[in-house]
Structure 1
Amino acid sequence: MRIIILGILILTSVLLSSDTTVATQLPITVSQNGYSGLTVAISDSISENVALIQKLKDWITAASRVLYKASKYQLYYKDVTIVLPKTWSIQSSYKKISGLKFSRAHVRIDDEENPVVGKVPYVFGQTECGKQGQYMHLTTYLLFAGELAGFGEIGDVFIHEWGHLRWGLFDEYASFEEAGLESPSAFYLDDGTWKPTRCTEEVTGRNINMFTGAPCTVTEDGIPEKDCVFIADKDSSATASLMGQQNVLKMEEFCDTDESSTGSKLRHNSQAANNQNIKCNSRSAWEVMREHDDFKGNTPGSPSFDTTPDFTIEVETDQRICLLLDISGSMQKNNRNSKMYTAASNFLLNMVADGTSVGVATFNNIGRVVHEMLTISSQSDRQQLVTSLPTTTGGTTSIGAGLLTCITALNSSSEGLEGSMIYLVTDGEESRAPYIADVQPVITTSGVIVNTLALGNESDTQLGGISRASGGQSFYYSEDEDSTVLTDAFAAAVADTSSDMLIQIESKSFSLSSTQSFEHSITIDATVGRDTILQITSSESNDIEISVTGPDQTIHTEINSTFGITTVKIPNIAQSGSYKVSVTTASNSMIPGVLNVQSKVRVPGETTARLSVWLSDDTHVYGSDSTTVVYVAVLKGMAPVLKCDVTASLEGYDASTVQLHDNGIGSDSRENDGIYSAYVFSNNFKRNGRHTLKISGQNTNNRAEILKSKEKSNTFPYYSGLTTELVGNFQRVILSSEISVTNYTATQLTDNIKPAKITTLKLKSVQLKGDKLQIILLWKAIGDDLDVGTASEYDFRISDSFSKIKQQPEQCTKLTNNVPIPKLAGSTEQYLVTIDDDSLTKYIVVRAIDDVGSKGDYSNIVSVSKLTDPSWTSEAINTVNLTETFVSGSLALAILLVMMILGLCLKVRSSKTNDQKKLINEKKNQNQKPGKRGSSNKHHYRYEYKNRNYIV
């Protein structure tokens, strides 16, 4: 694999990256034009540096000014929280909070290097147009270097990323691609010339070869050479768009519609081959933004309004958890109290991290603290908490009373309430005050996180609401014998409560009897193995025997059985490889059980494969065309794990399993970014009510690999390649938050699911053959039902009117000659088209049609015309004096400066303060001054590789 990273003066591209976790975001609200709740957190891997706090304040203050102007005086950052890791010193002015807030923060400061470029800002987890991403990632290098880092002015950089994170905007600049993936997305063919991808067209500049400095030419296929780039003029008069060339000095606005009524300064370039047009159906940034709740009901403020945010500094402390258990009379049903007791025991004995403070409370018609907060430091502490767990039931249900009881317990120390967790386990609907609604304002104000586990489908429907409002998660246990949720949900709730996180390797249900044993293999990979335990949870644990055989055939016999849990602990560091688990019983009755395997990283601080999951919506309205998207990130540190086998199973349904893909079609926004996705259709559900998805990610055939940076070149510091590295076999499981189904009916659904929109239509070649233009189109096949299966036919349309093919594609001419038959979803398709050369630009789209005639949406628009611009011909290039080209306008100096800057960006390994000094010295050596708005020294560099894995 040869993948190029480009660094070019004033040319902004992207490299997307990823981080280690995806968690429920903290809420952000808008009031009187101001954002409240924006949270910026610093990783505990970053050494203490109080100057970093001021840098963050400087960045966000500058961003608030840019945001206010760019939003037409409708939005600014009103109050912002900066969260420090618990490894930093606590000052009297800092507010103490419980637990780790980093995994829920909107902006995360972390110096763990992206495997490609390391220090490029990006947004992780952006999926659909108009949908927010998961979080923004910034490095301390970028924060201290500021404009000198080469990404633009600090306020502009932050708001560019905010557009991705908050409003679901995509980049309006080009994406460069590896030779062999023939799309010339840096340029598009229109009106006889290759035009650069830009927004707006007011952005002026020139097209050059990034290596030679010569004007661009075309290849024998008629498309621009792969090293051709557009360099925007730094003194261009363009003011839009911040999602495009925000490096231009006067850039300060977002582009608006492409209508003639929009002035040319803001008019969107809907023909440009960028992701904003492809993902957002050629809509401008403002057309997407106006539909966002942030802009509804706002009245523009005064242009002179002071947009400086109010900052609060918080510091993390050890996690505090109140375990809140339902003991009302309904808990006797289906043996729920006993099951809850076993699961809670396992949670306290094996899942909660040392250093965590835990209390236990119960509720029926009233709430009671049955064990005060206790900081866990030994196994005896864990046993003490287990002995306090309730064994009797009775009374009515007041969930509000229980929540208030936990608030009181958690508030018993000087650490404060914010960030503390309540883990609520209940089976019933509220029948007595105080109700959830009565106490929700208290929960919201306190900053306590409420995670909920609903036992059975009769539990109160408000559980999910209070979890979401507090930034927590909600889980659902169906009570089916083959469900593993009772174990999985407790593990998921504490996955991010410690920097030394517990990793769930396997979770599997089984049944056995005297004539039917349970045999299963699990893989302990080379990155984990510390504190490895295998557990069998069963109501009949005294009647079963377990044997675990390691890779070296050692039989592990360190077995402990208590509280319905049989545990095998692998001593020291578990050997990597395959372990054989055998469970038997002498009982003649069928005994159900659950196998759970968990471990920690082999060496603290090292990276390992992790899963994280989120859903497009927490409610699914049952219907013939309804879908919900499940997203699963598979990452090793910052690196995406490719070619992994990822599935999602609806808990309680044997047949309802969907395969997730990372192939860039349908539900998957980008190929090979480590985010796997799939549609869950209505026919996957069998009833109304709550459901839970269990996610499995594994590599059992040694195919999975990660992207890895090659050694940087000292000669060409602006060039770097990527290679791949096998990650070895591994397996992981994780649980999603609950999803609620409404309007279910048992009647057979009609097939109303249409094929997905094709978003990958690209021009491979264009050549003049006599009086004909011969073009080759490439795209990825989509499915019969969105991205599943195989479509039946393709419908190509062509027009010489862009507005017509955009607004009325069905009224355009249909291409019928030699149209290919669709292949399986994800396959590469190719179509040779011959059209008359009449010197007019032609526009082409395609859609897929399924076997019942359902028609997908038309694709992104590809333009083509005869190349008549002499500046792109070889003859014209030969007349150019390359020496003059390099010297003219100090281009040689500019390119050299880019090499030096980007070389520093990529090679820095020392402290960020030294990085900044080096970069400043380089600037001084070139007689340059630090860039400021209005100066001539504003730069932004573009990084890209074949499969755009990260959004910048």
Structure 2
Amino acid sequence: MYIIDMVQEASKYLFTASQKRFYFKDVKILIPVTWATNPIYGRPQTESYSEANVIIAAPYVKYGNDPYTLQYGGCGEEGRYIHLTPDFLTDDAFLPIYGPRERVLVHEWAHLRWGVYDEYNEDKPFYFAPDKSFEYTRCSVDITGVVAECKDPQCSGIKPCEVDQATGSPTEKCQFFPDKKQRTTSSIMFFQGLNAIIEFCNSKSHNEEAPNMQNKMCKSKSVWEVIEQSKDFKASKPMSDSVPPRTTFTYLQGGNRIVCLVLDVSSSMSASQRKDRLRQAAELFILQIIETGSQLGIVQFNSAASTLRELTTITDYASRTALTKYLPNLASGGTSICSGIRKAFEVFRKLNSQINGNEIVLLTDGEDGTVGSCVNEVQTSGTIIHTIALGPSAAKELETMSNITGGLQFSATDSLDSNGLIDAFAGISARDGNTSNQALQLESAGKNIPGNSWLNGTVSIDRTVGNDTFFVVTWQAAKPTISVFSPTGIDYSGSFVEDTALKVSRLKIPGTAEAGNWHYHILNINSAAQTLTMTVTSRPASVNDPPVTVNAHMNADSADAKTPIKVYAEVSKGYLPVLRATVTAFIESNTNNQELRLLDNGAGADAIKNDGVYSGYFINFSGNGRYSLKVKVQGGEKVTRLSDRKGTRAYYNPGYYVDGKIEKNPDKPSVPEEDLQTNLGNFTRTTIGGVFVVTGSPPGSQPPVFPPCQITDLDANIKDEKVFLRWTAPGEIMDQGTAAKYEIRMSTTYQDLKDQFDNATVVNTSNLVPLEAGNMELFSFKPEDITIENGTIIYFAARAGSKSSDMAEVSNIAQAQMVLPYIPAVPDPNPNPNPGTPDKPGSVNITTLVLAITCSIAGICIIASISMCIVKKNQRARTAPAV
């Protein structure tokens, strides 16, 4: 009953924390397909592992039980998912560390739903307060506790903290032990585990000077202020009831995929080799992408629809090959998208009258004025529709079909060298979380090659993949000469199987492909230029070693060309981030292609450094229409590495201060470096990231000019009466190019700099020449108007300017202080019997955060992953009632 109890209690806690606005009304729990079936389990509709709010799965490495939320975006932007481990749910040893599970869930839900951030800081646990003392980073400062070092591992005694002579701040051994009993009621986003904490920090209790992520990302706003700006808050009112309604739970369990290809064969498909490209891409999907055990049907449509193949179970490669013979090869007539969808429904219902959760892959290149006639039918069917818009005239309603059914959406232009149609079909894998059975795209390359010239490339196959590895070459006119060599020099050139009618050659590597760099060479023997493409896919080599995966997307699926689009690529192995990879986004519209370097440096569009999420701004809009995203990732030998999870994870409480003694929790276990230094070797990945649609940008209009992006990592220090500043350089336009200038201002008062930046003292930057975006700027100077002495505090903020004098937003505020020796008092062995007294010797005040949750009819989808199934496999009889 772990999940049920946690959510029901979390709903009550959320109701209180949100001032009776929000609670969990409906929760859907997706049971792993590997678990035994049960009559009470329904069939999922749009619910999937990849779209889950909460994922319950074992960590990839030992000791990784920190609850966390993966957040990509900025303040107020929703996160991706919450990750909880089975050990966290079942082992009560974690309760003193994180607090009650239901409270942890509410803490993480605030991250996920409202885009707020933590109010502690593991990297900078102390800061210099205006009263010239070091404060523990927290919110609110009314939270009391003791700052001290333990004399031994059990903390049977404590002693004053040692001081770092370089900074004057406490060393890493210094810890904050909160009083177990508190008088303040906030904040949940600092540490929800204290019994008294039942609120989020608000404008009155917020500690805006604390150097935490909430202040950095949200411009020093309190959590409650951010929540008040959410669409949930604006659409809700406080309830009159003293307790929320009980949560309703629904149990769902999927099965093998049931998919129908619904393919446009109207006359317009004869243009730009669309018909042939459709057959090439659909064949790749059938032979290489869709999972064994799935059922697949094929429908074609023009003015009417017909069934080419009823649902057929894919059992082996022969059954896949047989299905490809039913792909359409003629094109004529008009376009009736609804006819194709309804015919797919007929195909599904021949198997089962319940078609919810089945998938349609809908491809069309034409407009259809009647497509709106089946929208309601589609929505009520429970079927998932993945859409592929081919060419510039595909129906504008396609994205609506995907959005209302929870499907994926792709677009492909008529540019043959982009390989876009094949990439779209390659991106339609199962979304059940079982990466051990999924095909991964390693390479997607295409180019218009002159006569008697070569297309050369290298594909890095790492040890985590290698099964069912295919090299696929397509051509436009004449069959080229193809050579493929393994890392040890084995020549596979004679092993390709050719289909000259379809203009495809395919190589299947037997067994598990050799790890290392594979080289291919494709010679255009034609006298005229033609487009050649190479696509490489592979499946994981072992169920026990998760592969490196890439998840790419944008922060919006529509734009007005007046606001930059944020592009993200999450690179991970299991649940661990992959660092130091080279990540490039390719954004294609019907008029041009653009490249964009994505970085994981915690600057510009990137929220958190070294979290495995690589980010960048897309700003070069070229008119209205669809823009598709493709991302390529390259990992280098002994360069790319793993990392433990950074960012928004639950606070690890080292212990409590109770009646003059420390109730010590176990030290936080560190992830062994050898687990993180796993040699990933060279690897390549390619993934498709969906579509965004641009409106409000007339053809021929000048693209908007954006200012430099905001500096978010300004840091300041004082040494030998000089100030040293550092930050990541923004660009001339957002995070691209080189800014023209910097404006830096300072003040001895935090509030003055925050509220009146333009009136603060200007720092002379005449000798500061900006570096290209992404580089680290270093700047030092000696203040002329401020006397630096022991205890001096100076606050700094900065912004970049462009050549046209467009100025960026003001940066985060950085604090620098002159070294001040710091020796905190050891608590009195006979302390004031009231543990909430704020002036207790050695105590440190900490503040509140006011948290609220989604809307009053909040619903979340909790997914027990395949990995959880494995962990709980031998305890199923005891855990069955919980799910």
> Which range, TM-score by smaller chain?
0.7 to 0.9
2:586 maps to which of 640, 649, 655: 649
Partner of 1:224: 169
Q: Does 1:610 align with 2:569?
A: no
1:797 maps to which of 733, 745, 756: 745
For 1:813, the aligned partner's letter is T
1:678 maps to which of 609, 616, 625: 616
| Contact residue 111 and residue 140 of structure 1 kept, 8 A | yes
Query: 5 Å matches for 1:84-103?
Result: 84-97=31-44, 101-103=48-50
Higher mean alpha-carbon deviation, 96-105 vs 685-694, is at 96-105
CA distance in 2, matches of 1:349, 1:457: 28
1:554 match: secondary structure: coil
CA distance in 1, matches of 2:128, 2:380: 52
Partner of 1:181: none
| Contact residue 57 and residue 85 of structure 2 kept, 8 A | yes
1:469 match: secondary structure: helix
Q: Does 1:365 align with 2:311?
A: no
Partner of 2:854: none
| Contact residue 98 and residue 317 of structure 1 kept, 8 A | no
CA distance in 1, matches of 2:144, 2:294: 58
1:250 and 1:766, CA in 2 relative to 1: closer, same or farther beyond 3 A? farther
Query: 5 Å matches for 1:302-701?
Result: 302-414=240-352, 416-431=354-369, 433=370, 435=371, 437-494=372-429, 496=431, 499=435, 500-512=437-449, 515-540=452-477, 543-556=479-492, 557-562=494-499, 563-623=502-562, 626-651=563-588, 656-682=594-620, 685-700=621-636
1:571 match: secondary structure: strand
1:255 maps to which of 179, 198, 201: 201
| Contact residue 708 and residue 806 of structure 2 kept, 8 A | yes
1:186 and 1:470, CA in 2 relative to 1: closer, same or farther beyond 3 A? farther
| Contact residue 794 and residue 819 of structure 1 kept, 8 A | no
Higher mean alpha-carbon deviation, 843-852 vs 810-819, is at 810-819
Partner of 1:905: none
**Cα deviations by residue, 1:604-653 (Å, 9 ceiling, x for unpaired):** 33122211101011223235xx3111100111222222111111112367
1:214 maps to which of 156, 159, 167: 159
| TM-score scaled by length of structure 2 | 0.85
CA distance in 2, matches of 1:765, 1:247: 36
Q: Does 1:873 align with 2:822?
A: yes
| Contact residue 724 and residue 778 of structure 2 kept, 8 A | no
Partner of 1:831: 780
Query: 5 Å matches for 1:76-225?
Result: 76-97=23-44, 101-114=48-61, 117-145=63-91, 148=95, 150-173=97-120, 175-177=121-123, 184-209=124-149, 213-216=158-161, 218-225=163-170
CA distance in 2, matches of 1:305, 1:883: 42
Query: 5 Å matches for 1:734-813?
Result: 734-745=687-698, 749=702, 752-765=705-718, 775-813=723-761
| Contact residue 99 and residue 316 of structure 1 kept, 8 A | no
Partner of 2:21: 74
TM superposition shift of 1:722: 5.5
Partner of 1:899: none
1:742 and 1:584, CA in 2 relative to 1: closer, same or farther beyond 3 A? same
TM superposition shift of 1:99: 10
1:445 and 1:144, CA in 2 relative to 1: closer, same or farther beyond 3 A? farther
For 1:127, the aligned partner's letter is G
| Contact residue 98 and residue 416 of structure 1 kept, 8 A | no
CA distance in 2, matches of 1:524, 1:645: 16
For 1:168, the aligned partner's letter is G
CA distance in 1, matches of 2:819, 2:449: 72
1:504 and 1:864, CA in 2 relative to 1: closer, same or farther beyond 3 A? closer
For 2:34, the aligned partner's letter is T
Q: RMSD between aligned alpha carbons?
A: 3.2
1:857 and 1:75, CA in 2 relative to 1: closer, same or farther beyond 3 A? same
CA distance in 1, matches of 2:427, 2:693: 19
Partner of 1:729: 682
1:337 and 1:817, CA in 2 relative to 1: closer, same or farther beyond 3 A? closer
CA distance in 2, matches of 1:589, 1:820: 53
TM superposition shift of 1:323: 0.6
| Contact residue 291 and residue 430 of structure 2 kept, 8 A | no
CA distance in 2, matches of 1:705, 1:840: 41
| Contact residue 191 and residue 865 of structure 1 kept, 8 A | no
For 2:103, the aligned partner's letter is D
CA distance in 2, matches of 1:310, 1:799: 54
CA distance in 1, matches of 2:300, 2:874: 55
TM superposition shift of 1:185: 4.7
CA distance in 2, matches of 1:237, 1:521: 63
For 1:720, the aligned partner's letter is S
| TM-score scaled by length of structure 1 | 0.79
1:191 and 1:830, CA in 2 relative to 1: closer, same or farther beyond 3 A? farther
CA distance in 2, matches of 1:127, 1:538: 40
Higher mean alpha-carbon deviation, 627-636 vs 292-301, is at 292-301
| Contact residue 46 and residue 357 of structure 2 kept, 8 A | yes
**Cα deviations by residue, 1:156-192 (Å, 9 ceiling, x for unpaired):** 100100011110000112x122xxxxxx453243222
| Contact residue 97 and residue 317 of structure 1 kept, 8 A | no
**Cα deviations by residue, 1:357-407 (Å, 9 ceiling, x for unpaired):** 111112223333322111111334223322222222333322223222223
For 1:517, the aligned partner's letter is W
Q: Percent identity?
A: 29
Partner of 2:658: none
Higher mean alpha-carbon deviation, 292-301 vs 316-325, is at 292-301
| Contact residue 266 and residue 334 of structure 2 kept, 8 A | yes
**Cα deviations by residue, 1:480-502 (Å, 9 ceiling, x for unpaired):** 12121111100101264664110
TM superposition shift of 1:559: 2.0
CA distance in 1, matches of 2:79, 2:223: 16
1:95 match: secondary structure: coil
1:60 match: secondary structure: helix
1:538 and 1:201, CA in 2 relative to 1: closer, same or farther beyond 3 A? same
Partner of 1:921: none
2:404 match: secondary structure: helix
1:114 and 1:808, CA in 2 relative to 1: closer, same or farther beyond 3 A? farther
For 2:762, the aligned partner's letter is K
**Cα deviations by residue, 1:794-849 (Å, 9 ceiling, x for unpaired):** 32223344333222211222233887443343315243454226988643322222
| Contact residue 126 and residue 165 of structure 1 kept, 8 A | no
TM superposition shift of 1:57: 1.0
**Cα deviations by residue, 1:515-554 (Å, 9 ceiling, x for unpaired):** 223333322222222111111123446x333222222222
Partner of 2:795: 843
| Contact residue 622 and residue 743 of structure 1 kept, 8 A | yes
For 1:472, the aligned partner's letter is G
1:482 match: secondary structure: helix
| Contact residue 319 and residue 356 of structure 1 kept, 8 A | yes
For 2:337, the aligned partner's letter is I
1:738 match: secondary structure: strand
CA distance in 2, matches of 1:362, 1:272: 61
Partner of 1:21: none
1:656 match: secondary structure: strand
